[in-house]
Amino acid sequence: MSKQSTSHLFMIEPESFYSNEQTAFTNHYQEQVTDETPEIIAEKALAEFHGLKNAIEDKGIKVTSLKGSKDCPDHIFPNWFITFDDKTMQIFSMMAPNRRKEKKPSMIEHLTNTYELTDDMSYLEDKEVFLESTSSMVFDRVNRIVYAGISPRTNAVQLIIWCRNNDYELVLFETESHTGSPIYHTDVLMFVGTDIIGICLDVIKPEHRDYVEDKVNAHHKVIELTPEQIQNFCGNAIEAKNNNNELFLIISSTAFNALNQDQKEQLLKSYKDIIHSDIPTIEKYGGGSARCMLTELF
């Protein structure tokens, strides 16, 4: 039986970091205007990276990190591949041309020392078909369900093909962000844990909402998040376990502080603790948070 979470996470230490102009028109959570120099932004991002990594490792969760490249401003977000508990991996198509460069041969070689590469969908980039891995698809691995919101970075037809080929049920829906546009990644609005799901139903279009609500309630307890909490990255969370098999939820301090007390108490019934770290520079200029910085190594 598949496990929902792992005790081994993958991170990429940023060699550079700045607001990626190639992703800004789809990611409405990142800012481009700044009075800070690129050097200061990169320095702050590096410190925040190490703060989150240390907070995770302090709880007994293993982290493997590789060094990023200067030509990849979003290398800190390793959401271009997935691993599975049968020790296979897949590589996905990325929308921004400079994000396609993140799939460095040296990193792929490192991963394929452990995982068999069974599919590389990079060729879809030439066809303008994008499916950005664990950001586009939020996995209920135990029940073999993929939750996905359609966006320019998450192609509906490719989702249907992927789920059919990999034997996953697809829960497909449309969203509307605070700007009126689709939410660029599904992992912004929801996370799936072993026995709990956090989700903002209000950003799902009304014609899809009841369907999604029924699905998330079928196998899990559900914590409903507000649209305001989504803007504070409360949905961008990930479950992991330590070497004692204790479950933790990992989020940013921005997200932790935006949760109300009832939500925290509900989460702590499912988790040993909530791991959080302050990553405001990464959130501000990258438009992503803790979950975006972490990929599971099964």
pLDDT of 68-121, one tens digit each?
Answer: 999 999 999 999 999 999 999 999 999 999 899 999 999 999 999 999 999 999
Q: What's residue 37's pLDDT?
A: 86
- Which residue's entry shows tokens 């995982």? 115
β-pairing, 138-140 vs 116-120, is: unpaired
pLDDT of 211-262, one tens digit each?
Answer: 999 999 999 999 999 999 999 999 999 999 999 999 999 999 999 999 999 9
Picking from 226, 169, 243, 177, the residue whose alpha carbon sits closest to that of residue 205 is 177
- Confidence band (pLDDT; 50, 70, 90) for 2? confident
Residue 44 CB coordination number (10 Å): 18
Q: What is the mean pLDDT of residues 187-213?
A: 98
Instruction: Write the single-letter amino acid at 296.
Output: E
Q: Could you tell me how far CA 17 lies from the centroid of its own chain?
A: 18
Question: What is the overall mean pLDDT for the chain?
Answer: 94
Q: What's residue 32's pLDDT?
A: 62
Q: What's residue 38's pLDDT?
A: 82
Q: What is the mean pLDDT of residues 187-206?
A: 98
Q: What's residue 20's pLDDT?
A: 57
**Residues 188, 29 contacting (CB under 8 angstroms):** yes
Q: Is the pLDDT at 26 greater than 90, yes or no?
A: no
For a pLDDT cut of 70, what percent of the chain falls above it? 95
Domain ranges for the chain, please list them. 8-296
Q: What's residue 16's pLDDT?
A: 87
- Which residue's entry shows tokens 């196998």? 219
Q: Is the pLDDT at 164 greater than 80, yes or no?
A: yes
Q: What is the mean pLDDT of residues 138-151?
A: 98
pTM for the whole thing?
A: 0.95
Q: Is the pLDDT at 35 greater than 80, yes or no?
A: no
Sign of the C-alpha dihedral computed for residues 260, 134, 183 and 203 taken in this order: negative
Q: CA 175, CA 260: separation in Å to the nearest integer?
A: 24
Q: What's residue 31's pLDDT?
A: 62
Q: What's residue 24's pLDDT?
A: 47
Q: What's residue 39's pLDDT?
A: 87
- Confidence band (pLDDT; 50, 70, 90) for 13? very high
Phi–psi pair at 240, nearest 5 degrees: -145, 165
Q: What's residue 36's pLDDT?
A: 86
Q: Is the pLDDT at 30 greater than 60, yes or no?
A: no
- CATH number 3.75.10.10 given to 8-296: yes
